[in-house]
Amino acid sequence: MFMFPRLLDGHFEGLGVRICGLAFLLAVALPAAPARAEEAHAIAMHGKPALSAGFTHMPYANPDAPKGGRLTWGILGTFDSLNPLIVKGLAVQQTRGYVVESLLARGYDEPFTLYGLLARTVETDDERTYVTFHLDPRARFSDGKPVLADDVVFSWQLLRDHGRPNLRQYYGKVAKAEAVDPLTVRFDLAGANDRELPLILGLMPILPRHAVDVATFEETTMAAPIGSGPYRVTMVKPGTSVTLTRNPDYWGRDLPVNRGLYNFDEIRLDFYREANGQFEAFKRGLYDFRVENEPLRWHDGYDFPAARSGEVIRDTIKPGVPQPSEFLVFNTRRPIFADIRVRQALTLLFDFELVNRNYFFGLYSRVAGYFAGSDLSSYGRPADARERELLKPFAAQIPSDIMDGSYRLPVTDGSGRDRTTLRAALKLLSEAGYDLDGTVLRNRKTKVPFTFEMLVTTRDQERIALAFQRDLKRAGIEPTVRSVDPVQFDQRRLGFEFDMIQNRWDQSLSPGNEQYFYWGSTAADNPGTRNYMGAKNPAVDAMIAALLEAREHAAFVSAVRALDRALIAGFYTIPLFNVSEQWIARWNRIERPSATALSGYLPETWWSKGQPQAK
C-alpha cells in the first residue's frame, strides 16, 4: 500500500536517485524562500542606523542632566482641546510626545532613523512588504495598565478612521494589522509601494483601548489623555494654560533614547493671544524661553536689563536640515489666482531686495524651492539623468531653465520702482486678460478691478504685506491687508478661507509621506491639510510617489529634486526668504547641552539650573 518500505528495501533505488536528482533541479530552478528578517533595535529610511544596539544615550543629550524644577513655555495662540490627533479644535500639540508615545523614537542627529521606545525591536523585509513590532514588556500607560499589541491595533484602526487627514492617508495604506501575540503586532503592507510606511507606523501614537471612547474621539475635549509618556496632564485652565507633571513611575525613564531627556518635574504651557504681549511677558521672566522669528526684534528688541546683564541668553543655532523658508501663498482655488501667468507676474513684483535691506537688516537670503540650503534643493542645479527620466512625462510643464538650473528669482534694483520687472509683470498680466485702465488694473472682459485680500497675524507679516501692497499698486493692483489674531488666522488657514497668506513649511533631510499632505492632489480639497495653495499637479504627485519608492539614497535625492522642480514650475508661492539659523532666547535658569542635534534646538534635552546631579 505504501511505497516507503519498498524504497527502504532498495527495490526502487534507481527511482530514489531520480527523485533526489529532480529535487536538486527544482532547488536550482526555483528561487529560494526569502530569509526571515531579523529583529533590530532601530530602522533607517536609507542606509543603516548610526547608533548600534548597545548605545547608552543620544549624542545630543546629557545623560547626567539633573532632574527637577519647572519649565514655563510661552505659546502664541490659544487652545480648546487636548487632542492633537483630530481635525476639530485648536489642540495642545505638546501632549503628543510628552504624554502620548509612539512605538519608536526619532534620532534627531540623523535624516530619518527611529530607535526602540514602546517597541523594543522592529522587523521588516528588504522589500518592506510588512513590519512587525515587538513591544517592551515593561511598557505601561500612566494608569498602570500594560501596553499591548491590542492597543496598537486599536490605535491604528482609530486613527485610520477618525484621525487627522494625514493619519487617515498614512494608515489607510495598510492591508492588514494583527496582534500575533500579546506583545507582537504585524502590519501587512503589500501593495502600498511605500518604503517609508514602516517608519510612519513606528511613529504612530499609541492610545489605550480601555480608556478611549471611539464614539466621541473626534470631538474636542479638555479631559486629560491617558498615555504612556513621561508626563501626565495635571491641570488645565481652558484657553490659558496646561500643566504637565513628570510621572514618577514612568516606565521608560532608563531607556537609552530617554537618558538625559525630560528633566523637568513640571512643564507649564502658557498661552498668549497677542505677539507683543507675549514678548513683554518674556522680558518680565514670566516664561523661560522663546524662539524668535522676527529679525527686527532679534536685531534690536533685546536691549532690556535682563538681556544686558546676561540673565537672558541668546543662542544662535545652525541646524543641518533644509532651511525653513517663508512664502506668500496663492490660494489657487480662487479664480483670480488660477492662471499661472498671474502668479508669475506677482512674483516679479515682489521687491525682496528692498524688504531685506529696510526691514531685515540684510539677515536673509532668498532661494526658490522648498529644500533650501540642502543637497535636496534643485535651485541652481542642472537636472541629472534620473530627474530627467522621472519628469519626462511632464516635460511640457517644466520650463527648460528650471530643468537646467539656470532659473533665478527676479532681482530688483532695490529702489521699489524697478521698471524692468514692472514691464515684464504687466506683459504677463495682459496675456492673462488684464489691462491697465488709467491707474487701475481691470479684467479685460468684466472690467472688474484686480484686487484680493492678504491675511496676516504678526507684525512681520503685516509689514511684508504692506510693502508688497505698495509694489502691487505700481501695476494697478489694489490688495487689502487684513490683520487677525492667531486663532482666527489658524482657523481660516486650515479651512482654506483666504486669498493669500504667509506660511512656511519645515522640511527634513528625509521628506516622505507628509509631502502628499503638503501638496498632493488628494489633499487640495481636504480642509486640515497643509496644501494651502490647492495644488493639483500630476507631476507633483508622481514625484512624491517616486521618492517614497526610492531604495538608494542617490535615487531618493533625484526624486526630491524633481519634486522641487515641479513645485517651482507651478508658481504656487512667492518665495520671501530663507532662515539659515534658529534664534533662541532663554533665561539663564535654564541650561542646555553643549551638543546640538542635526534638527536644532530640543527643549526636552534642557534642564533647570541648580538642581542636584542625576544619579
DSSP string, 205-251: B---GGG--GGGTTS---SPPP-SSSEEEEEEETTTEEEEEE-TT-T
Decide: 290 and 282 in contact? Cβ < 8 Å.
Answer: yes
pLDDT of 371 > 90? The answer is yes
Q: pLDDT at position 580, please?
A: 85
Q: pLDDT at position 206, please?
A: 98
pLDDT of 454-470, one tens digit each?
999 988 899 999 999 99
Among 209-223, 274-288, 350-364, 415-429, the minimum mean pLDDT is found in: 350-364
pLDDT of 223 > 50? The answer is yes
Q: Which amino acid is at 591?
A: E
Using alpha carbons, select from 217, 209, 227 the residue that is nearest to residue 97: 227
Decide: 364 and 578 in contact? Cβ < 8 Å.
Answer: yes
Local structure of residue 336 (DSSP, 8 states): G
Q: pLDDT at position 293, please?
A: 85
pLDDT of 303-314, one tens digit each?
999 999 999 999
Task: List beta partners, residue 447.
Answer: none
pLDDT of 602 > 80? The answer is yes
361: left (phi over 0), alpha (psi -120 to 50) or beta: left
Decide: 222 and 236 in contact? Cβ < 8 Å.
Answer: yes
Confidence tier at 13 by pLDDT (50, 70, 90): very low
Q: CA 249 → CA 138, 169, 178, 253, 400, distances in Å?
A: 11, 35, 29, 9, 61
pLDDT of 418-433, one tens digit each?
899 999 999 999 999 9
What residues have CB less than 8 Å from 261, skipping those under 6 apart?
A: 58, 61, 230, 604, 605
Give the other-Cβ count within 10 Å of 418's Cβ. 21
> Strand locations in 451-563, DSSP E?
453-456, 480-483, 500-505
Confidence tier at 23 by pLDDT (50, 70, 90): very low
Q: pLDDT at position 361, please?
A: 77
Using alpha carbons, select from 536, 469, 567, 501 the residue that is nearest to residue 331: 501
Give the other-Cβ count within 10 Å of 575's Cβ. 21
Q: pLDDT at position 38, please?
A: 83
Question: What class is the 231-321+581-608 domain?
Answer: alpha beta
pLDDT of 350 > 90? The answer is yes
Please report which residue ranges of 288-331 form alpha helices under DSSP H: 295-300, 305-309
Buried b (16+ CB within 10 A) or exposed e, 5-19: eeeeeeeeeeeeeee
Q: Enumerate the domain spans of the chain.
A: 231-321+581-608, 325-578
d(CA 391, CA 565): 9
Q: Across residues 235-254, what is the average pLDDT?
A: 97
Using alpha carbons, select from 391, 512, 377, 370 the residue that is nearest to residue 46: 512
Task: List beta partners, residue 75.
Answer: 271
Q: pLDDT at position 193, please?
A: 87
Query: Domain 325-578 falls in which CATH fold?
Result: Dipeptide-binding Protein; domain 3 (3.10.105)
pLDDT of 526 > 50? The answer is yes
The phi, psi pair for 21, rounded to 5°, reads: -65, -40
User: Can you tell me which residue has the cell 511632464?
Assistant: 394
Q: pLDDT at position 36, please?
A: 57
d(CA 80, CA 240): 10
Q: pLDDT at position 613, please?
A: 60
Confidence tier at 365 by pLDDT (50, 70, 90): confident
Q: pLDDT at position 93, please?
A: 95
In this structure, what C-alpha cell is assigned to residue 382?
542642472
Q: Across residues 556-575, what is the average pLDDT?
A: 97
Q: At what angle do helices 459-473 and 340-349 cross, to 10 degrees?
A: 100
Using alpha carbons, select from 348, 314, 208, 361 the residue that is nearest to residue 587: 314
Task: List beta partners, residue 268.
Answer: 72, 243
The phi, psi pair for 366, rounded to 5°, reads: -145, 125
The more confident residue out of 358 and 180 is 180
Coil, strand or helix at 481: strand
Q: Across residues 92-107, what is the average pLDDT?
A: 97
The more confident residue out of 108 and 3 is 108
pLDDT of 145 > 50? The answer is yes
The more confident residue out of 496 and 2 is 496
Helix (H) or strand (E) holding 121: strand 119-124
pLDDT of 184-215, one tens digit each?
999 999 988 899 999 999 999 999 999 999 99
d(CA 203, CA 66): 28
Q: Which amino acid is at 554?
A: A
Q: pLDDT at position 7, please?
A: 33
Decide: 90 and 154 in contact? Cβ < 8 Å.
Answer: no
Decide: 100 and 228 in contact? Cβ < 8 Å.
Answer: yes
Q: pLDDT at position 614, please?
A: 52
Among 32-41, 523-532, 545-554, the minimum mean pLDDT is found in: 32-41
Q: pLDDT at position 20, please?
A: 40
In this structure, what C-alpha cell is assigned to residue 439?
491707474
Q: pLDDT at position 579, please?
A: 81
Q: pLDDT at position 119, please?
A: 98
d(CA 80, CA 237): 10
Whole-number mean pLDDT of the chain? 91
Using alpha carbons, select from 478, 451, 476 the residue that is nearest to residue 466: 478
Q: pLDDT at position 35, please?
A: 44
Q: pLDDT at position 460, please?
A: 85
Q: CA 134 → CA 44, 416, 478, 507, distances in Å?
A: 17, 62, 60, 30
What residues have CB less than 8 Å from 476, skipping those under 6 apart?
A: 436, 437, 439, 440, 441, 442, 450
Q: Across residues 6-11, what is the average pLDDT?
A: 34
Q: Across residues 136-160, what is the average pLDDT?
A: 98
3-state secondary structure labels for all residues of 63-118: CCCCCCCEEEEEEECCCCECCCCCCCCCECCCHHHHCECECEEECCCCCCEEEECC
Confidence tier at 362 by pLDDT (50, 70, 90): confident
Decide: 331 and 496 in contact? Cβ < 8 Å.
Answer: yes
